[in-house]
């Protein structure tokens, strides 16, 4: 990481979005809803959360306007997230507006997949390029234990529908929790070889609404890779400017393995990510302790230039990276479902 530029240094008012560490931010995640139809144990309690009232959620017009401003500021890729984005009514209509606001944007979607069998086609038509689907177990009973939904078959059908709709390459996000599903990593690798999907193993992060995260349950990426490599030898592919480090199978089999080692091998040095919550808060980091309200000024008559300046200032205050491994670490009040990954 480059040395930090003093905060009081002159923040650039044009050109790409940068922070005081010289990182250029061009990858935006937009949460289009805080609601979800799953109850993953590492994310929220069984009863769910107090959902935001409708009037607090950004409208399609507001979301599209803000996206347009980010595109003007150099954003090149957009990941549509939630909660569960597919529970937002008329999502294909919103995607079409996003596509108009960013004709050259790389638009992907992160979803739990349970509604994908019905919506993959319309979303692809509307302008989504790729889908990342969460799946933490290939065992029906364990899937139900982890998500509190007996929905594995529907999710697998959703993956096939996404593939048929051309939302490829299909990427699978699997959160690995020690003592829960870490015994499945080799099975997931075998499945990746059979399906050709890229399975990314995500280290368990302190972003749950219950604040019940336990460091002992973090399975280091290195251990996951070693377990797979012992059975299906892997070759590194590198770490494009995205969270996952990917590997291919040495014997040339289809499929890919990725690891997102946020806890044991943080990648904040090359972070290019920006986040917008469903109610219009701009976050410069997944673990940020503060955020910039774009909704109030937007509804208060602010111009696009005003909002662009707020975004620049919000990024200029970005820290070097999360502090999970520091004694002073404080888990953000906002849980993953309220941020959108
Ligand atoms: S923790 Fe924050 S700084 Fe680090 S990679 Fe994630 S979003 Fe970027």
Number of domains in the chain: 1
Question: What is residue 341's predicted lDDT score, i.e. its pLDDT?
Answer: 73
Report yes or no on 8 lying in a domain. no
Tokens of 283: 């976050």
Question: If you measure from the C-alpha of residue 329 to the centroid of ligand 1, how many angstroms do you get, rounded to a whole number?
Answer: 14
DSSP alpha helices (H): ranges in the chain? Answer: 60-72, 91-101, 116-126, 140-147, 152-164, 185-195, 221-229, 295-299, 304-316
Q: Is the CB of 258 under 6 A from ligand 1?
A: no
Give me the CATH number covering residue 170. 3.20.20.70
Report yes or no on 211 lying in a domain. yes
In testing the pocket of ligand 1, which one of 321, 323, 329 has its CB within 8 Å of the most ligand atoms?
A: 321
Return the ligand 1 atom nearest residue 322 CA.
1
Q: Is the CB of 202 under 6 A from ligand 1?
A: no
Report yes or no on 7 lying in a domain. no
How far is 152 from 147, CA to CA, in rounded Å?
10
Report yes or no on 99 lying in a domain. yes
Question: What is residue 5's predicted lDDT score, i.e. its pLDDT?
Answer: 61
Kindly state the DSSP code that residue 34 receives in the 8-state scheme.
Answer: S
Backbone angles phi, psi at 201, to 5 degrees: -90, 125
Where are the extended beta strands (E) located within the chain?
27-31, 77-81, 106-111, 130-134, 171-176, 198-203, 234-238, 245-249, 256-260, 273-276, 281-283, 292-293
Q: Is the CB of 113 under 6 A from ligand 1?
A: no
Domain hosting residue 90, numbered range:
27-339
How far is 74 from 98, CA to CA, in rounded Å?
15
Question: What is residue 243's predicted lDDT score, i.e. its pLDDT?
Answer: 85
How far is 244 from 174, CA to CA, in rounded Å?
12
Report yes or no on 20 lying in a domain. no
> 111-124, pLDDT tens digit by residue?
999 999 999 999 99
Report yes or no on 67 lying in a domain. yes
Q: Which residues of the chain have pLDDT under 70?
A: 1-9, 238-241
3-state SS, residue 198: strand
> 119-159, pLDDT tens digit by residue?
999 999 999 999 999 999 999 999 999 999 999 999 999 99
Report yes or no on 115 lying in a domain. yes
Return the ligand 1 atom nearest residue 243 CA.
5
Report yes or no on 15 lying in a domain. no
Return the ligand 1 atom nearest residue 320 CA.
3
Give Rg (Cα) of the chain. 19
Question: If you measure from the C-alpha of residue 285 to the centroid of ligand 1, how many angstroms do you get, rounded to a whole number?
Answer: 5
Q: Is the CB of 268 under 6 A from ligand 1?
A: yes
Q: Is the CB of 151 under 6 A from ligand 1?
A: no
């Amino acid at each position: 990481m480059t040395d930090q530029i003093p905060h009081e240094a002159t923040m650039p008012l044009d050109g790409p979005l940068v922070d005081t560490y010289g990182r250029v931010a061009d990858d935006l995640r937009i949460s289009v809803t805080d609601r979800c139809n799953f109850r993953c144990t590492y994310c929220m309690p069984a009863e769910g959360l107090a959902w935001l009232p409708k009037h607090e959620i950004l409208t399609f017009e507001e979301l599209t306007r803000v996206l347009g401003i980010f595109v003007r500021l150099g954003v090149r890729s957009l990941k549509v997230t939630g909660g569960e984005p597919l529970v937002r009514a008329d999502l294909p209509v919103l995607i079409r507006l996003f596509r108009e606001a960013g004709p050259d944007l790389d638009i992907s979607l992160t979803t739990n997949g349970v509604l994908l069998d019905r919506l993959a086609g319309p979303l692809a038509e509307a302008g989504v390029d790729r889908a990342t689907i969460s799946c933490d177990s290939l065992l029906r009973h364990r899937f139900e234990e982890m998500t509190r939904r007996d929905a594995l078959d529907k999710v697998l059908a959703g993956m096939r529908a996404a593939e048929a709709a051309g939302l490829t390459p299909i990427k699978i996000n699997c959160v690995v929790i020690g003592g829960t599903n870490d015994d499945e990593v080799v099975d997931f690798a075998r499945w990746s070889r059979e399906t050709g999907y890229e399975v990314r193993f995500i280290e368990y992060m302190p972003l749950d609404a219950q604040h019940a995260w336990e460091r002992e349950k973090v399975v280091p990426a290195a251990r996951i890779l070693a377990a797979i490599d012992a059975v299906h030898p892997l070759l590194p592919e590198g770490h494009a400017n995205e969270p996952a480090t990917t590997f291919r199978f040495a014997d040339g089999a289809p499929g890919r393995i990725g690891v997102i080692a946020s806890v044991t091998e943080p990648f904040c040095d090359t972070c290019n990510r920006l986040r917008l919550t469903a109610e219009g808060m701009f976050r410069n980091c997944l673990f940020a302790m503060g955020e910039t309200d774009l909704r109030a000024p937007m509804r208060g008559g602010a111009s696009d230039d005003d909002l662009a300046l707020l975004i620049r200032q919000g990024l200029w205050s970005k820290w070097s990276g999360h502090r999970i491994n520091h004694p002073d670490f404080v888990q953000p009040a906002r849980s993953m479902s309220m941020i959108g990954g």
